[in-house]
Amino acid sequence: MSKLNGLQCAIRNKYARIRSIFLKNKLHFYICFACIAVGCIFAASGDYADVTKSSNFIADIVNGTFSPFLNMFLIGLFTSLLFFAVFCAGLRFWLFLVSGYGGLLVAAYLMCRTIIIAFAVDGFWGFIYFILFLLPIFLFNCLMYILALARVYEISGYRHNRKCLVGLRSQSRLLFESIKKFWLYCLLFNYILWLLIMLIFIIIF
């Protein structure tokens, strides 16, 4: 019972922390939500008539064409690129706008495009892929990205000086240490979820 109470307290504290960050950076969150919406709109307006292959590893398992090492590489690559954009956002204020918000827009576009292709190519298995993997990944990674970007905005001093630089090694190290935990949280979440789903479907099929 004490462990359950401790977990509830930890969840409440984390929620309070996120709410506090939101209240201090409302404009930042609104811009992030707008970037996500624009990215999804761009993806929805694309032409997918000629697309015949999706990234749906669940369908690949069912069809016997699954390549685990390629999936592991792509998950690590795209997660790392996502947070490299956050790191770049701390170097200059114009990079914060281009790399930070632009990176979120591109990520939302790619994720929405992946979802649409999965539905178009794989049908029912595309829906399963979306519910079990893509939707949790999208929500969790977006939250971590937005929080990391808010952290970068604070430690880089953009609130007070939009010409602030983070060019010295010590400052760059501080920037990296500040966003590293968000990057590791996303990698851990993405790989654990992928591994669980992969093992379940390999056992079933």
What does the DSSP assignment read for 36-65?
HHHHHHHHHTS--TT------HHHHHHHT-
Tell whether the model's pLDDT for residue 125 goes beyond 50. yes
CA-derived radius of gyration, the chain: 19
For the ranges 14-18, 148-152, 164-168, which has the lowest average pLDDT?
164-168
Contact 198, 69 (CB under 8 A): no
Q: How far is CA 131 from CA 19, 117, 142, in A?
A: 26, 14, 16
The residue-averaged pLDDT of 62-85 equals 91
The number of folded domains in the chain is: 1
Q: Residue 167 has what pLDDT?
A: 42
Tell whether the model's pLDDT for residue 55 goes beyond 60. yes
Q: Decide which of 113 and 178 is more confident.
A: 113
Spatial distance between the Cα atoms of 41 and 61, rounded to a whole number of angstroms: 30
Percent of the chain with pLDDT over 70: 86
- Give the distance, in angstroms, between the CA of residue 165 and the centroid of all CA atoms in the same chain: 26
Does 181 reside within a domain? yes
Tokens describing residue 43:
């993806």
Does 53 reside within a domain? no
Q: Residue 12 has what pLDDT?
A: 76
Does 5 reside within a domain? no
Tell whether the model's pLDDT for residue 171 goes beyond 80. no
Q: Residue 168 has what pLDDT?
A: 39
Note every long-range contact of 165-169, with CB atoms under 8 Å and residues 24 or more positions apart, other chains counting.
165/91, 165/92, 166/90, 166/91, 167/91
Does 9 reside within a domain? no
At position 38, the amino acid (one-letter code) is: V
Q: What DSSP designation does 119 have? A: H
At position 157, the amino acid (one-letter code) is: G
pLDDT level of residue 109 (50, 70, 90 thresholds): very high
Give the domain extent around 197. 17-46+59-204
Q: How far is CA 205 from CA 55, 58, 64, 192, 194, in A?
A: 18, 10, 9, 20, 16
Q: Residue 10 has what pLDDT?
A: 66
Does 28 reside within a domain? yes
Entry pTM: 0.85
Does 142 reside within a domain? yes
- Which tens digit of pLDDT belongs to each residue from 137-162? 999 999 999 989 888 887 766 554 44
Does 52 reside within a domain? no
Does 51 reside within a domain? no
- The mean predicted confidence, pLDDT, of the chain is 85
